[in-house]
Amino acid sequence: MKRSRFTAIAIGIAAVAVIAVVAVLSTKGGGSTADVSQMQPVTVTGTALPRYPDSGADPAIGLSAPEISGFSFDGTPVSITADGKPKIIAILAHWCSHCQNDVELLTPYIQDNGMPPLVEFYAISTLADASSPNWPPSKWLKDWPVPTIADSSTSQAAQALGVSAFPFFVFITADGNVDFRFPGEVQPDVLYQAAITLANS
């Protein structure tokens, strides 16, 4: 990874970011067994990334990102694989107010502008919990224009990406390595510019 590319993305996003909601993955989740569409089976191929640190350098930078295959809320297959295209993955929890803010701002922006054509954008809905606000996530994300995997009841996808807070973004290079991870809100234009930087790397 080129240091200048990483620094440009980090500075651009950090300049407008809001501190994310910290969440321990093992303390939430489950939801109602009747709402099976809110959670789906997930398959992770490859080595899980280390958990994002509370401080200091991110140990995942430069590591191969695991491939994740699953299903959307309606059962449509969604796979995030090493196919030679750079990727951005947004990991969201329906009860997280910062995630709600990001979805509210990003939805119309992406609908109007799309994403840079050389970058694939995915989302993962995780930690579905029927006792928490903004339930169900499938209703919340019904207009969300991004292919979304409904995570498993044990949050396999989120844990494989080393999530420590929400929202959480993972930037993956065309060769399948982690370029950058970031917890927190991000403005649509900043995310778009970061995507262009990633595409041109």
Contact 160, 79 (CB under 8 A): no
Contact 44, 160 (CB under 8 A): yes
Do strands 87-92 and 168-172 pair parallel, antiparallel, or not at all (unpaired)?
antiparallel
> Which pLDDT score is estimated for 117?
86
| Domain extents in the chain | 3-199
Q: How far is CA 92 from CA 6, 84, 85, 188, 201, in A?
A: 23, 25, 22, 16, 26
CATH class of 3-199: alpha beta
pLDDT digits (tens, 9 = 90+) for 142-175: 999 999 999 999 999 999 999 999 999 999 999 9
Instruction: Say if pTM beats, i.e. exceeds, 0.85.
Output: yes
- Residue 47: pLDDT band (50, 70, 90) is very high
Instruction: Report CA 162 to chain centroid distance, whole Å.
Output: 11
